[in-house]
Chain A
């Protein structure tokens, strides 16, 4: 409980941001996001864009896995669907990027709905493996269909806004970060609605949810659709960011990365998705910095990639064993300390 936040109406109780402190901090964060590109170097801008794309996709997976309880290892494949849609539209049709991104989202959503159909009967880890199957089939289509450029993939021209090509990290930042923020707000609001609460009920016990009158198939499909829509848009942003899309861009490892991100961040928490994606994207970069600082760093770079792989695995294991609710719980603990301070610590 927080001290000094008396609520007198239901509206106030259900508000997304309910205290003045929270609003002040959000304003500070927004200001920082706006100021960041003017202060940071190209490298950090590049990282910021990458983190932002990963946050969007991880949030999508969080809707499906964290809130609806359906484990999916197909997130990368849905991102691939979005990225390919954007690439094809941009090269062959040349429509404006907003339309392309939306189309990417909807195509991925369609893919998600198809993959989601078995989810009514196929449960738990059987479903997780079925989504692996879906991602292999998607990879096969990307690699063998002429339309998607085969194994060579497609290169994507930069998005243009009023004739201005968005071809640097600085310019892309103004596309990627606002889209991600919008998607985050959407996801946060989703769980204040009937639909979002239905998802949570399904996660907690799907049969009970059905007894309560929640049509399982419709809501499970909706969850799959929403989640892959997020992945599709994130994939579209990815295509504009890296400007080349190949079948190898979206491996199974990437799906595992997103699942790891929401586990490390905290499943079933929007903040968890954000923290997890930021953390998991930054760890390899920080590792690189550390290796550069170490004496004899150049010899150690041979070990960089395997060490990264090991640390990636250890992070997943460590969080599951020692901090199963993830970074979001750590954050809550820190916040609680300040709320209660100086009365109890």
Chain B
């Protein structure tokens, strides 16, 4: 390995970490719902897709300006989150987790079918809105879309973390996550917190969907992105925000490295092998809460 190309490794790693930022944002959307409501939302990738298609509709079909189209898409996705919570998740309160999990599996299927019905299964391009000047970090070249996508993701992650640290609703959400019964008894409206979590998750998913879509185009099979997000949250620990962030970067990095050095078909394989390895050592993820079971 005398002439090992360190610059290439650096470039790939940067791309991977930037991609990981997107995973982290989507994973945050997932963890928010899981923490508040204990629902494993396997349809996270499809919610991303729905957000991206909403943006596509507003920007390309209704020809709205960007500053209007993006908020409209995000609000629409939030509404979608609220509808999902009300019609599918609320009726299943108290049912076993696997039932709720399967509902989200059904939801994924419904969303994919709806997208194919309305927009057909063809690949679409989102309008460009990010600067196209190439980014150079040292000698390493970074695709501008990836760089700016990661930057937007970082901004939103920071915003979300701040909001949930200081805003009343955010505090209520964290209280519900740590103890539902106690949250009830101090007067927090827990069902409304559930709705809030789904709305926020839908919005975040839409933002990451718009970024992911503008990097790679949108299609009805975009939900595959959700599989990587699932790996991220399992590796990080389902209920850990920190885990989602670190897991996102880790999986992004591993995917990029595997894709560059082994070939594109090894990407998913590498992430799933990491997943299995992590689960064998720490069954509740890197930073997840180890639940103590009592009889």
Instruction: Tell me if A126 and B279 are in contact (CB < 8 A).
Output: yes
B137 at the interface (CB under 8 A from A): no
- Residue A316 interfacial (CB < 8 Å): yes
A4 at the interface (CB under 8 A from B): no
Q: Are A118 and B279 in contact (CB under 8 A)?
A: yes
Residue contact B234 to A320, C-beta cutoff 8 Å: no
Residue in contact with B265 in the complex, picked from A128, A133, A143, CB distance below 8 Å: A143
Complex CA gap A263/B92 in Å reads: 14
Interface hit among B10-18, B60-68, B100-108, B208-216: B100-108
Q: Is A256 an interface residue (CB 8 A)?
A: yes
A260 — which chain B residues lie within 8 A by C-beta? 102, 105-106
Q: Does B88 contact A (CB under 8 A)?
A: yes
Q: Establish whether residues A314 and B110, one from each chain, have CB atoms under 8 Å apart when the complex forms.
A: yes
Decide if B106 touches A122 in the complex (CB within 8 Å).
no
Q: Which residues of chain A are near B108, meaning CB under 8 Å?
A: 313
| In the complex, chain B residues whose CB is within 8 Å of the CB of A207 | 293, 295
Is B58's CB within 8 Å of the partner chain A? no
Complex CA–CA separation, A103 to B102 (angstroms): 32
* B contact residues, total (Cβ < 8 Å): 44
A129 within 8 A of B: yes
Partner among A118, A136, A259, A324 whose Cβ is within 8 Å of the Cβ of B269: A136
**Is A1's beta carbon under 8 Å from chain B?**
no
Given known A-B contacts A123-B283, A256-B105, A133 and B117 have beta carbons under 8 A apart: no
Judge whether A320 and B113 touch: CB under 8 Å: no
Q: Which of B88, B92, B121, B283 contacts A126 (CB 8 A)?
A: B283
Interface status of A32 (Cβ within 8 A of chain B):
no
From B91, B95, B113, B268, A309 is in contact (CB under 8 Å) with B113
Whether, in the assembled complex, B230 has its beta carbon less than 8 Å from a beta carbon of chain A, the answer is yes
Query: Roughly how many angstroms separate A309 CA and B268 CA in the complex, as a whole number?
Result: 24
- Chain B: which residue is nearest A129 at the CB level? B234
Q: Is there contact, CB below 8 Å, between A137 and B269?
A: yes
Residue of B nearest to A259 (CB): B102
Shortest Cβ distance from A280 into chain B, in angstroms?
A: 12
- How many angstroms from the CA of A75 to the CA of B98 in the assembled complex? 16
Cβ of B113 and Cβ of A308 under 8 Å apart? yes
**Cross-chain contact B114 with A126 (CB below 8 angstroms):** no
Check if B265 sits within 8 Å of A140, measured CB to CB. Answer: yes
> Which of A121, A129, A320 is in CB contact (< 8 Å) with B103?
A320
Q: Min CB distance, A73 to chain B, in Å?
A: 9
Against B, the Cβ 8 Å flags (1 = close, 0 = not) of A277-320 are 00000000000000000000000000101111111111111001
Q: Is A3 close to B, CB under 8 A?
A: no
Q: Assess whether B227 is interfacial by the CB under 8 Å rule.
A: yes
User: Binding site of B, secondary structure by majority: helix, strand, loop or mixed?
Assistant: helix
Q: Is B141 an interface residue (CB 8 A)?
A: no
Determine how close the nearest CB of chain A comes to the CB of B267; give it in whole angstroms. 11
**Once the chains bind, are A126 and B113 in contact (CB under 8 Å)?**
no
B265 and A130 contact, CB distance less than 8 A: no
**Residues of chain A contacted by B105 (CB below 8 angstroms):** 256, 259-260, 313, 316
Pair B234/A317 contact, Cβ less than 8 Å: no
Contacts of A144 in B (CB 8 A): 265
Instruction: State the CA gap A123–B292 with chains docked (Å).
Output: 12
Q: Is there contact, CB below 8 Å, between B117 and A303?
A: yes
Q: A67-111: contact bitstring with B at CB < 8 Å (1 yes, 0 no)? A: 000010000000000000000000000000000000000000000
A321 contacts B88, CB within 8 Å?
yes
Taking the complex as formed, is A197 at the interface, i.e. its CB lies under 8 A from any CB of chain B? no
* Cβ of B273 under 8 Å from chain A: yes
CA of A136 to CA of B109, assembled, Å: 19
Contact (Cβ within 8 A) B110 A321:
no
Q: B107's contact among A134, A256, A313, A315, by CB below 8 Å, is which?
A: A313
Contact A310 B110, CB 8 Å, known A122-B279, A132-B227, A136-B269: yes
- Knowing A263-B102, A308-B113, say if A126 contacts B234 (CB, 8 Å): yes
**Is A208's CB within 8 Å of the partner chain B?**
yes
CB distance from A252 to the nearest CB of B (A): 8
Q: Which residues of B contact A335 (CB under 8 A)?
A: none
Establish whether residues B276 and A133, one from each chain, have CB atoms under 8 Å apart when the complex forms: yes
Give, as a whole number of angstroms, the nearest-CB distance from B276 to chain A.
Answer: 5
Q: A122-B280, A309-B116 are in contact. List 15 more A-B contacts (CB 8 A).
A: A71-B98, A124-B98, A125-B97, A126-B285, A130-B279, A132-B230, A144-B265, A208-B295, A260-B106, A303-B117, A309-B110, A316-B102, A316-B105, A320-B103, A321-B88
Jot down 16 A-B pairs with beta carbons below 8 A, ordered by A.
A122-B280, A128-B101, A136-B272, A137-B276, A263-B102, A311-B113, A313-B105, A313-B107, A313-B110, A316-B106, A316-B109, A317-B88, A317-B106, A320-B103, A321-B88, A324-B99
